[in-house]
Amino acid sequence: MNKKILLLLISLLVILPSAINAQSKKMLKANEYFDAGEYFEARELYLKLYSKAKQKEEKAELSFQIGVCSRHLIDVQQSITWFKRAVLYRYQDPLTNLYLADAYKMKGLYDEAKEHYANYKDLVPGDIRADNGIASCDLAVQWLDNPTRFSIDDITQLNSRQNDFAAFVANDTNTIYFTTTRGSANGSDFNNNSGQNFADIFISKKDTRGQWSEPVPITGNINADFDDGACTLEADGRTMYFTNCSVIEGQNAGCKIYKSTYSDDKWNAPELLEIFSDSSISVGQPHLSPDQLTLYFISDNPNGGIGGKDIWKMTRASKTADWGNPSNLGSDINSEFDELFPSIDNKGNLYFATDGRIGMGGLDIFKATPTTDGFDVQNLKYPINSSSNDFGIIFNPYDNSRGYFSSSRNNAKGDDIFSFFLRPIIVTLNGFVRNDANKGYITDVNVEITGSDGSIQKVVTSATGSFTVKLNANVDYKIVSSKRTFLKATGSISTKAVVDDGKIFDIELFMKPAVGSIQIPNIRYDLGDTTLRQESFVPLDDLIEILTINPTAKIELGAHTDFRGSDASNLKLSQGRANSVVEYLIANGIDKSRLVAKGYGESTPYTVDAITAATYDFLNEGDVLTERFISSLSNVDHQEICHQLNRRTEFRVLEIDWGDNYEPFGD
């Protein structure tokens, strides 16, 4: 063997073990960082190890670890890059596909996400995360196509290039506290856990023009060297509860809730709020209920917890009393995953963020409405939620339609604070008022719209007989039209089923003239009998409604027969039938002194109006259906139609100011 080659081999045998040993030490150190939650430092070491890795198996494992670190750092693009590599290297952990699908979903790439959720389901059929992931992708597309009534706006005056999140609005509604990792924070050292500066609590105030002032750190002794934030204040603005998360190298130190009071223009030294006797349990993200008697927070306490980080609460009897024992909100709210950033609006609804339910991607914000036996939990959908992390919603103290939330949807900038406004549901009523006799439109009609919410609107119909009004959602309405020489007409609608998109209602009111005779359709008797048949009750019930809403009208009920039979028998028959109608009205609450029964027999043949002429092509408007006219018709069926038109029951108004409670008609 060549001497030089021999020396080279000997050198390699010496160098290779030391190189492997160095690589192993770096891997151990990287794993230590990872186990301590210092994902930024862990990723940096994994990247260096990857650049020197030779074996496919080693590259696969490192790709997965780098992907997991990026997942914790909410670096979505890097998560996709490295989990894709782990898949290509055929890394054996099925979570590779799940985490890659989650990352694609957070990027809004729902088709790609569904593909990898399906792959994960093939590998782990019993894991509900696969089915939830696929369902989330399908629903996210639907929600994007059908946004809710929320309008959102990125508040550029508050946001920086770093993370800005967890806003809290003071009771004056013009002061906002929030958490930020911007460079001017007191805790400006680098946080190896998050890859950002340590966070502090900042404050900003809104001027009379609605502009936010330059955010500055709160004064006093709250902001420390590590993470401070996610605060809540009592109503007077002089007591604050906030989160502090310490960082100890090589350890996962967790978070605690502290209390501080405000005096002499600064926040005083904070006091630890002792919630659990075990100091190793992490707690944070406090939120006071509007009545200040309940404090909500999150904790990873395994004793009584459901999984991951859960939402807990403590209550007190009064604003000066001590807090009671903590209790978990239960499985209606909490899951085996993380539930974060609880808040309560002034109606008692609970809001929180979680990645444990079907959502659009990352953390989604949910609303939990209290019920008799728990909570009804609903996703707030798009645009409050997005494919990125959305969390930390807070409402203005006196207005549940406005508030703020945090989102990482602008990924290049990290978390930002957004404002939101819930646009009102737009409900419109378009109406027409028509003459029931000739179906023409009536102008200058007074229309009154009364709502079950106590609202009253009054309008007058236009030259086209129309009117338009705006209505409120979730209200029942009664509409009444009135004009002199017409009987009042009424209608009703309900907006209780109206959804986010709003609705346009159309209604037509038909007013019966107070002059001339008005036929009551479909009044039926057996041949030669005066007893009302069952099908006659419906049109008579409509007449009862007309008389009820027109309590000053006195009417005549006139019954007519065809000319078959003797004059005397027809007169008797028609009077009996008119009496039957009056008796039905009296039995259903109409004062008998408002009613006159009149039998006309065959003495008043029917005169064809425009509507009847349009219905039957063998009749013309103005034809009088006398015995001679009917006999002149060659078609027997046509003759029978004319007999039927003559056999009618009509009413006409005798007085429009009947009774002691008379009101001017039509007013």
Convert the pLDDT of each residue in 616-633 to its tens digit.
999 999 999 999 999 999
Across the chain, which distance is largest between two alpha carbons, in Å? 146
CATH architecture under which domain 3-145 falls: Alpha Horseshoe (1.25)
Residue whose tokens read 């006398």:
626
Contact 496, 475 (CB under 8 A): yes
pLDDT of residue 413: 67
- Rounded to whole angstroms, the Cα distance separating 194 from 379 reads 28
Please tell me what DSSP assigns to residue 1: -
- pLDDT band of 117, cuts 50, 70, 90: very high
- pLDDT band of 186, cuts 50, 70, 90: low
Helix 56-72, helix 76-88: angle, nearest 10: 160
- Rounded to whole angstroms, the Cα distance separating 506 from 430 reads 5
Contact 651, 543 (CB under 8 A): yes
Instruction: Tell whether the model's pLDDT for residue 10 goes beyond 70.
Output: no
Residue type, 392: G
Contact 167, 157 (CB under 8 A): no
Q: Give start-end residues of each CATH 2.120.10.30 domain in the chain.
A: 150-422
Expressed in angstroms, the distance from the first to the final Cα of the chain is: 122
Cα–chain-centroid distance for residue 237? 31
- Rounded to whole angstroms, the Cα distance separating 37 from 425 reads 46
**Residue 82: its H or E element:** helix 76-88
- Rounded to whole angstroms, the Cα distance separating 510 from 549 reads 14
* Full 3-state SS string of 185-246: CCCCCEECCCCEECCEEEEEEECCCCCECCCEECCECCCCCCEEEEEEECCCCCEEEEEEEC
CATH architecture under which domain 427-511 falls: Sandwich (2.60)
| DSSP per-residue codes, 417-431 | EEEEEEPPP-EEEEE
- Rounded to whole angstroms, the Cα distance separating 593 from 268 reads 83
Convert the pLDDT of each residue in 364-410 to its tens digit.
999 999 999 899 999 999 999 999 999 999 999 988 899 999 999 97
C-alpha distances in Å from residue 118, one per residue of 101, 124, 128: 9, 10, 12
**CA dihedral sign, ordered 405, 408, 414, 420:** negative
- Rounded to whole angstroms, the Cα distance separating 412 from 410 reads 6
C-alpha distances in Å from residue 297, one per residue of 261, 282, 327: 19, 10, 10
| DSSP per-residue codes, 585-598 | HHHTT--GGGEEEE
Convert the pLDDT of each residue in 523-581 to its tens digit.
877 778 898 888 889 999 989 988 998 998 899 999 999 999 899 999 999 999 999 99
Convert the pLDDT of each residue in 191-204 to its tens digit.
666 667 889 999 99
Identify any residues that bridge with 152 across adjacent strands, giving them in sequence order: 420
Q: Is 593 left (phi over 0), alpha (psi -120 to 50) or beta?
A: alpha
Closest to 305 in 3D by CA, of 331, 342, 275, 277:
331
> Can you tell me the mean pLDDT for 462-490?
94
Convert the pLDDT of each residue in 78-106 to its tens digit.
999 999 999 999 999 999 999 999 999 99
C-alpha distances in Å from residue 78, one per residue of 74, 97, 161, 266, 420: 9, 15, 19, 42, 30
Give the CA dihedral 63, 68, 71, 72, nearest 10 degrees.
-140
- Rounded to whole angstroms, the Cα distance separating 290 from 255 reads 24
Residue type, 178: F
pLDDT of residue 227: 86
Percent of the chain whose pLDDT exceeds 90: 73
Whether omega before 424 lies within 30 degrees of 0, making that bond cis, reads: no
Convert the pLDDT of each residue in 623-663 to its tens digit.
999 999 999 999 999 999 999 899 999 888 888 888 755 55
Cα–chain-centroid distance for residue 629? 66
Instruction: Tell whether the model's pLDDT for residue 22 goes beyond 60.
Output: no
- Rounded to whole angstroms, the Cα distance separating 240 from 254 reads 20
Please tell me what DSSP assigns to residue 251: B
Give the CA radius of gyration of the chain: 39
Q: Is 384 left (phi over 0), alpha (psi -120 to 50) or beta?
A: alpha
Copy the structure tokens of residue 38: 């210092």
Contact 180, 163 (CB under 8 A): yes
Q: Give start-end residues of each CATH 3.30.1330.60 domain in the chain.
A: 518-606+648-655
Copy the structure tokens of residue 197: 């500066």
| DSSP per-residue codes, 260-310 | EEEETTEEPPPEE----S-TTS-EEEEEE-TTSSEEEEEE---SS--SSSE
Contact 578, 520 (CB under 8 A): no
- Rounded to whole angstroms, the Cα distance separating 403 from 488 reads 46
Provide CATH code, domain 518-606+648-655.
Answer: 3.30.1330.60
- Rounded to whole angstroms, the Cα distance separating 75 from 57 reads 24
Report pTM: 0.73
Residue 350: exposure state from Cβ atoms within 10 A (0-12, 13-18, ≥19) = buried
- Rounded to whole angstroms, the Cα distance separating 230 from 531 reads 79
CATH architecture under which domain 150-422 falls: 6 Propeller (2.120)
Mean of pLDDT over the chain: 90
pLDDT of residue 9: 45
Give the Cβ contact number of residue 535 at 10 Å.
10
> Can you tell me the mean pLDDT for 156-185?
91
Q: Give start-end residues of each CATH 1.25.40.10 domain in the chain.
A: 3-145
pLDDT of residue 667: 42
- Rounded to whole angstroms, the Cα distance separating 145 from 481 reads 41
C-alpha distances in Å from residue 556, one per residue of 397, 515, 582, 646: 62, 12, 9, 18
Residue type, 26: K
- Rounded to whole angstroms, the Cα distance separating 454 from 470 reads 15
Q: Give start-end residues of each CATH 2.60.40.1120 domain in the chain.
A: 427-511
**Close Cβ partners of 331 (under 8 Å, ≥ 6 residues apart):** 306
**CA dihedral sign, ordered 226, 230, 236, 237:** positive
